[in-house]
Structures are given as structure tokens and as C-alpha cells.
Amino acid sequence: QYDVLIVGAGHAGAQAAIALRQNKFAGTIAMIGDEPEIPYERPPLSKEYFSGEKAFERILIRPAAFWQERQVEMLLGRRVVSVDPAGKAVTTADGETIGYGALIWATGGKPRELPCGGHHLTGLHTVRTRADADRMLAELDGVTRVVVIGGGYIGLEAAAVLNKFGKQVVVLEALDRVLARVAGEPLSRFYEAEHRAHGVEIRLCVTVACIEGEDKVTGVRLSGGAVVPADMVIVGIGIVPAVQPLIDAGALGGNGVTVDSQCRTSLPDIYAVGDCSQHSNRFAEGRAIRLESVQNANDQATVAAKTILGIDTEYDAVPWFWSNQYDLRLQTVGLSTGYDATVVRGDPAARSFSVLYLRDRRVIALDCVNSTKDYVQGRKLVVEGAVIDPARLADASVPLKEMAG
């Protein structure tokens, strides 16, 4: 029995425990995680950890001693399979029952699998955990050709690292541009050109029929019948939120567990935070969305912790995100979905520029490539939903901070 039980030892789970202790919570806290490691940062798995620039110890969210000192009990290598909201207890796959006063569900998601199967084959990978990254790294020596399925951030980041390792990389994207779900066309075209300039082949509007291979992958068959040969295949087509036990227990939700602005689920004393939760977000015009970002995981976890402590708070944070590919640092703020115009500021050819997204003339989001100044200064425009003449926004000689109201 713990006063606060956190399920999921990732970004959101870790931050929930940190925020509880920061706000002087003196009760018992335990964190149950199905991975063997104490919480670590996931973004480096397709960046600095994958490339070898950072060792695992350097991507821990906090060192082991931190959790001991703060008396956060780590119950690792255990998976919660059911929740009993009336009895206020969870059950693990080993049959252990653990009681709680408040439950914070912070389970993230599992990589979406290809509908055509093939995930049992050696050489086929997804990138979500340290174990996933280590498995890929262990195989790399014997690999020449890699096919990445999915031109989203994770797929493109992995492609950039593999390119640096000297592998021949082909990215297969079903839509007509990479990053189509998260960015506007100017940004997509820029990244396609960058990858191609580095020698990565980007193939758009292609769908995968099946993965070829007996025990080990040998290629990817496209729906037209052509086969792209591969020694390794990385599937980066999104995640499925890990919420079944909560849904089975009666929580409202579908694509994630539904939470209110205090991160409460529809079940008493159960909160959900991070990638697994769905909330209505004012930066998405109040639509119910699921955000997959460190920002959202941390901010929601802090809100849940404070709410448990009776501190008046509400989730209203502006979304932000980043991606590193080659020597390009992308920083984004706001949500660009639903934009009706874009403004490019600076020169993509100079590899330092920003794309501003407008809806009804308001600035709703900003994607900044090697342009931290715009990112920092433009944040305010997004928070305020500023209305600014597009010609002025495009004038890179005028700092964005001079445009804020």
C-alpha cells in the first residue's frame, strides 16, 4: 500500500514523483515500471544514445541515489495488468496486488506494428526503449542496407544517425511528404532535401505490402510489388497508448485515457499523464488530443502531483518539441494542425530559418531550424495568438520580440 502509486517509470512517472517531493509531499511513493531501468530520457534513443555520443548513465533522468534519497521506491521489471478502482489496488502480471491512495497512470505507449506483420523477424526493429536501441546497435556491424518505414521524427532521426554510420538508408513514407502529420510543407521539403543531399533515399507515396524474409528480414515488399532490399528494417509509424487496464476498469477514453485539466481520469483518485492521456488543449482550439512530447509528460505530471496535494493548478502549457538531424536543430512551439497559411522567415538554403503557422491570421505555431532566437522570441507570439502582418513576420531583419504585443 502506497499513498501515491505511479505506473510507468518514464518521463511522466519520474516527473510526477519529483514534483510530489518538491512540493513537500511526505507520504509513501512507489513507481512500477515494466522496463528494468530507472527512468531515462527517451529522445536520445534516436539521437545521441543511438549515435554513441552519450552513454546510458548520461541519459538517466536522475541518478539512482536521487530516488533513494527522496524515498521513491522503484518496483521495476513489473507490469500492471489490471486496476481495481473500488478496491484501490493494481495487479501485476506476476499476480502481485499493490494498493494505492492515489494512482498516477504514466505508461506511454507501445510502438504501432505493421498491419502486415513480420515483427517476429530478426532485423526488424522499433525504437521506444533502451533495449530496442541496444538490439539495433548490436546488429549494426553486419548491416549495409537499412529501410526505415515512416518519415516521422523518429524515423528521420534514426536515418540521419545510420547515414552517419555509413549505412545505405531508404526511408519509405506513405504520404506525399515526410513529417506530414506534424509540420507544414516548407519544413517537409527542407528535410527531404537535406536527407537526399546526405545520400539517404526518400521514397514518398509508397505503401508497404509485407516484410520479406524467413527468419531474418531481407527486404520490404511495396504494394506495387517491388522489393526494397534490406538487412535491417526500422518501423517508426507511431505508438498505441498503453491504457487497456484502465479502459477495462471503466475509464473513459479511446485513443488514450481522457483526462480533465487537472489530469484526472473519470475514475476516482486515478490520474493519467504523458503520452497515454488525452486532454482538451487550447492550442488545438480545445480539441481532445494526445501529445507525445517531453514537455507534455513533464507538465501534466506536475499538474497531477499538485492536484493530489490540493494545490490549485491547471494544465495550460504551450506545447514545444525538438528534433536533431545531422547538424540541424529543430525547435517547435505551438501546434500547427489546422493552419491556413505559412510564412517562411529566413533562407532555408542558409540552413537557418523558421516557418510560422497562421490560422485566421493568428500565429499558432513556429518551427525553427538552427534558429533558437526565433524559437525563444516567437514563443510569446504563439501564447498570445498574435495577429501580425505576414510580410512583417517574413522580414528576418526584424526580431520577433519586437512584434509581440
With CB atoms as reference, the residue minimizing the distance to ligand FAD is 10
Please give the C-alpha separations between residue 223 and each of 116, 176, 210, 256, in angstroms, as whole numbers: 11, 16, 8, 31
- What minimum distance in Å lies between the beta carbon of 335 and ligand FAD? 13
Pick the closer one to ligand FAD by CB: 107 or 358.
107
Q: Which residues contact 1 (CB under 8 A, 6 or more apart)?
A: 28, 98, 99, 100, 101
The secondary element (H helix, E strand) that includes residue 318 is none
Pick the closer one to ligand FAD by CB: 211 or 239.
239
Which of these, 309, 312, 261, 271, lies nearest to 23 by C-alpha position?
A: 309
The cell for 343 is 510564412
Which of these, 323, 318, 284, 312, lies nearest to 299 by C-alpha position?
A: 318
Under a CB-based contact definition with an 8 Å cutoff, are residues 61 and 297 in contact?
Answer: no
Pick the closer one to ligand FAD by CB: 266 or 293.
293
- What minimum distance in Å lies between the beta carbon of 108 and ligand FAD? 2
- What minimum distance in Å lies between the beta carbon of 342 and ligand FAD? 22
Pick the closer one to ligand FAD by CB: 182 or 297.
297
CB neighbours (10 Å) of residue 36? 11
- What minimum distance in Å lies between the beta carbon of 233 and ligand FAD? 16
The residue ranges that bind ligand FAD (CB under 6 A) are 7-13, 32-35, 42-43, 45-46, 79-80, 106-108, 127-128, 154, 242, 274-276, 292-295, 297, 321-323
- What minimum distance in Å lies between the beta carbon of 283 and ligand FAD? 15
Please give the C-alpha separations between residue 403 and each of 200, 376, 390, in angstroms, as whole numbers: 39, 13, 11
- What minimum distance in Å lies between the beta carbon of 234 and ligand FAD? 10
User: For 177, what's the count of Cα atoms within 13 Å in the CB-facing half-sphere?
Assistant: 15
DSSP 40: B
Pick the closer one to ligand FAD by CB: 23 or 91.
91
- What minimum distance in Å lies between the beta carbon of 247 and ligand FAD? 12
Identity of the residue numbered 374 = D
Pick the closer one to ligand FAD by CB: 12 or 388.
12
Pick the closer one to ligand FAD by CB: 27 or 238.
238
DSSP helix/strand/coil, 186: helix
The span from the CA of 276 to the CA of 145, in Å, is: 34
